[in-house]
Amino acid sequence: MAEETIFSKIIRREISADIVYQDDLVTAFRDISPQAPTHILIVPNTLIPTVNDVQPEHEQALGRMMIAAAKIAQQEGIAEEGYRLVVNCNRHAGQEVYHIHMHLLGGRPLGPLLACEDDV
């Protein structure tokens, strides 16, 4: 069984957060240390620690995360100019909270995420 995280408590509204979207499958809230003018975390309401733990029964919640991202980007006024969606998996990728989550970032030009060998 996965260990409960701070995100679980936010989903249940036991901890205060600026929730911008919530339904039966996902919850989205503003990041407390934003890396862009718009920085929202979108999480499944079911605790899934990492992408490595995703199972077929999680498909609907993970799909809903994408639908929620597009809806929130529209609400935030960043859909037309563009935004970035990021999911980190484990420590080398920078995952800090082991409850799968998608970062929605936008509101300014974000530049390249990584310089890939083909881009150099």
Active-site residue numbers?
A: 101
Give the helix/strand (H/E) hosting 39: strand 38-44
Q: What are phi and psi of 119, to 5 degrees?
A: -90, -15
Short-list 28, 29, 38, 20, CA closest to 109: 38
Three-state secondary structure call for residue 35: coil
